[in-house]
Amino acid sequence: MTALLRKPFGAHGKVHEITPQSAGWRYVGFSLYRLRPGETVAETTGEREVILVIVEGKARLSGAGRDWGVLGDRMDVFEKTPPHCLYLPNGSDWTATAETDCVLAVCSAPGRGGHPPRRIGPDGIALTERGKGTNIRHINNIAMEAEDYADSLLVTEVFTPAGHWSSYPSHRHDEDDFPRITYLEETYYHRLNPKDGFGIQRVYTDDGRLDETMAVKDGDVVLVPRGHHPCGAPYGFEMYYLNVMAGPRRNWRFVPAPEVDWIIKRDA
């Protein structure tokens, strides 16, 4: 199995832990907890900033010396309602206690202490449509470039209808040459509806030195260290993914794959 595809290492507790060291890169970290009612987890951000995303369920969150109350009201991610999230700067402690069955994502990147702790969503997050034809998908922007919430982190949710493609037309963001392109590492946390379905993700470079095509199942994570990275949802299976990106600057600029450049020009 390719090293870019990470399977959950259990069904309960911490089921994913991707660090810069384990991924072989410099910026993005991603962890995921699946908690039962009453269970508590606690971490320290250290030199990294964190966005906690309540993917499903409800949890009481405290962090950076504050009780943020019970966050979350989406019991199933495919309800597509805006998520409840919490931004915490580097040097913070945080605790989460599940009020219901709960899926909690921990998105992290290097922090500089440039932003205060704050709740993100559900207010201010609106499901928006992107793309045309079978490239249409729906986006919940949690903390992208337009939202000045973080030092490094870029975080978003994407819902891809059955039979559609997303992260498409294929594009890459693997060079530090702003404003033409930016270097951003990226993780994809995938969910499928129905759960026994599958999706497809390809990660490839123009020179072919990296070319991996993966069948992703519910709960899998895909690493994108470089290259283009389109996703496909087969007919009958709806796809969700939570994206985490970070790099040396907090801007998202990409270059399309040569074979799809005509699509972008046509649809512009």
What is the CATH classification number for the domain harbouring 31?
2.60.120.10
- Which band of pLDDT confidence, cut at 50, 70 and 90, is reported for residue 266? confident
- Provide mean pLDDT across the span 72-95: 97
- Provide mean pLDDT across the span 107-126: 96
- Provide mean pLDDT across the span 61-78: 97
Other CB atoms within 10 Å distance of the CB of residue 235: 8
Residue 37 scores a pLDDT above 70: yes
CA angle 150, 155, 158 (to 5 degrees): 160
Residue 155 scores a pLDDT above 90: yes
Helix H or strand E segment including 261? helix 261-267
Structural tokens at position 168: 């498409």
Structural tokens at position 121: 């969503």
Domain membership of residue 73 as a residue range: 5-267
- Which band of pLDDT confidence, cut at 50, 70 and 90, is reported for residue 267? confident
Distance CA 222, CA 197 (A): 16
Res 268: pLDDT: 64
Percentage of residues in the chain with pLDDT exceeding 70?
A: 99
Res 120: pLDDT: 97
- Provide mean pLDDT across the span 163-192: 97
Higher pLDDT, 1 or 159: 159
DSSP 262: H
- Provide mean pLDDT across the span 257-262: 94
- pLDDT tens-digit series, residues 130-151: 999 999 999 999 999 999 999 9
- Provide mean pLDDT across the span 122-127: 95
Domains in the chain: how many in total?
A: 1
Distance CA 253, CA 216 (A): 26
Res 264: pLDDT: 86
Percentage of residues in the chain with pLDDT exceeding 90?
A: 96
Res 217: pLDDT: 98
Structural tokens at position 243: 């994206």
- Which band of pLDDT confidence, cut at 50, 70 and 90, is reported for residue 265? confident
Residue 143 main-chain phi, psi, to 5 deg:
-155, 75
